[in-house]
Structure 1
């Protein structure tokens, strides 16, 4: 039996695993994916997250990979309007963050167990038993669900995910190359009809993270993301002949979800990161909040496992939810307001996504 089983190996789960392993806690971390991904997804680390990563001994590795001095270049109806330097965050692809954290975790003697999908969770007064789809049951003293907004752990625990989801995706996303386009800027094209195309360079790669308004067909129906659709959107909004998007390694669509778990603890099991809360992406707070959740849960579990069973231990564990559930509620309200601010700002020439970062 291990001390803590972590389900999910994104930034939240990996941060928690590193925190616990550094403190001498026996940990296992399982992941349903067959291997690591290379998707940019969340792409900014704020000062609070860098402080946590410094405590894990990896902040310098992150800054060596990332870009802390990115200029937001803004266009309106095809014309270059303004440049805004931004130095309040480290820009780095999520897959790069996970790569550094996996390396650190391996140094601590722990490997991510890929291809492990949990299908059942049972608890008794002394332990948690998680059953994977394939292989023997895994026993642990505590369990942490860090498996994202569609969390299997949360569903298995029967924890409601309260809030709202828009019926239709707001935008498309992807990772593409754009040979010939400057990599010194986060290019942000906006149009007077409310359209948008954004290309943010992922440091150390040839890729840009693409974000764009949905393309629609003749009937007004949204067109699924594809390289061909991305190119049409780029040509429409950027108007830069000769730039051909290529090498798509990730394509997705993003829908506005504003939801949070009604509790973050169920007996010996806990939720952290997107498993406990999802929200608008404006402000880049999602991954950062997950890292903060992981640090708080790491402190609680480390302290509890060093405390004899009884009321004192339960009080320590209860502190995690008492601290992080209000933080999740604040996150949902704040990011909803930030999204509204960004959507209004980008209709004004010279303004861009920085409206949601401050």
Structure 2
């Protein structure tokens, strides 16, 4: 079977190649920039402290499974979050055991470096830099591409992760419609002693204080911070002198000193565009990340969404690659990637378009947007929660199955990261077992205090062990002491990317077989 060709060795392309490697799928990673070449904006390649991303906890867990836990050492988890208006706290969020895991703020260069090192050391990934695409042709069972050097490559599938100016998307002649410059931010990375150690802060100026009064500060560790000032629409060029003046004025207010001490590490202007490719698939060629979409207003994070594309696509493409020639369900399964991820981004863009005009004008906010204040809505965006920034609920979850029950997670949503135990005695978080086979999770209180040899032979376990081995898709069995909203003996069927397919009252053999087939886009009566 031919490898999967991935175009673009940024974080999304690298993460996708590593995720496919976990499924033993070989990939050829083509990137048009030679090692050490300049970045798109003309600056020398290298660490850019002002170019960062905030990753939601489940995205960080995805990177951990790829072997990129080192990323945590180069970033800073938010100890908390607060929204201030004129110095008065409007919203306060703390993270920890009770409040749940924190988002991680990390420099993109550190993430890319970590992923690139993993790809270079993977037996399933070959990276070729300085390989710019000039031609793309497709066959019924493969894709051919030609690079500027005249080299032809043949792959079973191709995924374009080559950025907002995607060559793959242009060769496919896919329109990339949307809105230009929906937000602009002046950005500075500094080393300074701010009064909120480890916390993210959204500081909104006093009413009628004029444009540019909204500023976000996010910690990067070691007293380093990224500061973003919202610029007025249609603003002109931000000169270095104007940015430094803005920085010093902000630090004077925050620190209460006339001459605040700081070290300027990096500056820039971040322009947010909203775009959505009309199609994410033509034949055996797919789009992901910046090549497929651009989001980012109201604190939402484009890189986080791109990594969600990689996680969603990897297990599906891995399954299809290994099933080639054995059944014809591959097209339907790959199409669910397009349906789910494009639908999620489209909903994200619609929500931003509806809410943004209300947040940028005075008055009427609480009554206008489902009872939430401006501060609460902006918190949702920055922390990846709620309608603006929360994980999607995929509408492809099966319906009409017998024996289903309601739990604290609706079908199609991401499951809670509860403590689990495997039949071999392994214990840990549910998220640690994602990314491979589907998971079947039995809710069984008291499991931890029983002898393992006893609970493996007790109650529903023998029947469930047998069923898991007979399902159309190989699955892993786990046991949880509790799960939010679930009664004892509830059985959860969880996709490899952590989204709930269905919850059952006990062991429902026929319904679980149907659930497995529908997850794979196969007929209800299909067998493995």
TM over 0.5: yes
CA deviation after TM superposition for structure 1 residue 66, in Å = 3.0
Q: Which runs of 4+ in 1 moved over 6 A?
A: 345-350
Superposition pairs for residues 114-153 of structure 1, below 5 Å?
A: 114-134=129-149, 136-153=151-168
Choose the corresponding residue for 1:303, options 288, 295, 319.
Answer: 319
**Equivalent in 287, 294, 297 of residue 271 of structure 1:** 287
> In structure 2, what is the Cα distance between the partners aligned to 1:85 and 1:280?
21
1:25 aligns with 25
* 2:210 aligned partner: 193
1:38 aligns with 2:47: yes
Name which of structure 1's ranges 337-346 and 267-276 shifts more when overlaid on structure 2.
Answer: 337-346
Give the structure 2 partner of residue 158 of structure 1: 173
1:267 CA drift (Å): 0.8
Equivalent residue, structure 2, for 1:203 = 221
Partner residue in 1 for 2:379: 354
**Distance across 2 between alignment mates of 1:184 and 1:262:** 40
Q: Which has the higher contact order (CA 8 A, sep 6+)?
A: 1
1:65 aligns with 2:65: no
C-alpha RMSD over aligned residues: 3.4
Structure 1 partner of 2:92: 84
> Which of these residues, 319, 340, 346, is aligned with residue 329 of structure 1?
346
- Displacement of 1:18: 0.3
Establish whether residue 11 from structure 1 lines up as the match of residue 19 from structure 2.
no
Structure 2, unpaired ranges of 5+:
37-44, 96-101, 367-372, 386-528
Structure 1 residue 37, shift from structure 2 partner: 4.5
Q: Is the 8 A contact 1:283 1:338 kept in 2?
A: no
Shift of 1:25: 1.3
Residue 314 of structure 2 aligns to a residue in which SS? helix
Deviation digits for residues 64-99 of structure 1 (CA, Å, limit 9, x no counterpart): 43322334465545x475783443412222222222
Is contact 1:261–1:276 with CA below 8 Å preserved after alignment? Answer: yes
Contact persistence 1:187–1:200 (CA under 8 A) = yes
CA offset at residue 330 of structure 1?
1.7
**Cα deviations by residue, 1:88-116 (Å, 9 ceiling, x for unpaired):** 41222222222222232233243643333
Task: Tell me: CA distance 1:308–1:4, structure 2 relative to 1, closer, same or farther (3 Å).
Answer: closer
Structure 1 length-normalised TM: 0.82
SS across alignment from 1:282: helix
CA distance in 1, matches of 2:238, 2:46: 19
Stretch deviating more after TM superposition (120-129 or 105-114) = 105-114
Task: Give the Cα separation in 1 of the matches to 2:203 and 2:81.
Answer: 10
Alpha-carbon distance between aligned partners in 1 of 2:292 and 2:374, rounded to the nearest angstrom: 36
Distance in 2 separating the partners of 1:324 and 1:338: 21
Q: Name the CA shift for 1:107/1:73 in 2 (closer, same or farther; >3 Å).
A: same
Name the larger-Rg structure.
2
How many residue pairs match? The answer is: 348
Could you tell me how far apart the structure 2 residues matched to 1:246 and 1:38 are?
16
Q: CA deviation at 1:266?
A: 0.7
The answer to whether the aligner puts 1:174 opposite 2:187 as a matched pair is yes
Tell me how far 1:135 sits from its aligned partner.
Answer: 5.1
Normalising to structure 2: TM-score of the pair? 0.58
Distance 1:140 1:89 in 2: 36
Counterpart residue number, 1:251:
268
What corresponds to 2:403 in structure 1?
none
Q: CA deviation at 1:144?
A: 0.5
